Structure 1
């Protein structure tokens, strides 16, 4: 994995989908597709945090370093456990 700028949300280390894709050397859409196909394997709060509305805007304004798209309805933040699970599902099914 390449060096990542890990950030925190509610005292939890997190990465965005874009950061995760970059570290895996893959495309955001591949991770998004895998997440959508395997959503039952993930637990919100344990593997990922979904930010919407004001929460999303506040997070992006606080971390103005290209962490996510302001146009997206939901910004997914991946926890350490979620990052590991995503990698396993992406590469091993």
Structure 2
């Protein structure tokens, strides 16, 4: 493994020490590796969400000509549909 030097605040250092002393982690390196795994997972989810949004946008753009909708009427129709289904 390669050694990397990082700068942390006093509060971050205290939290690392607390996690080690509490038995949650064996070392600072273990904490940082866990944090990086979580960051990688978050980045993967962000990438998947962006792909989903791009597909949804493309689907919307390809679905036909836009139609003007009155927001008040639209919300009213959604509420009426919920009442008809017994959801309200």
TM-score category (smaller protein):
under 0.3
Scaled by the length of structure 2, the TM-score of the pair is 0.24
Which is greater in Rg? 2
Higher relative contact order (CA 8 A, sep 6+): 1
More strand by share: 1
More helix by share: 2
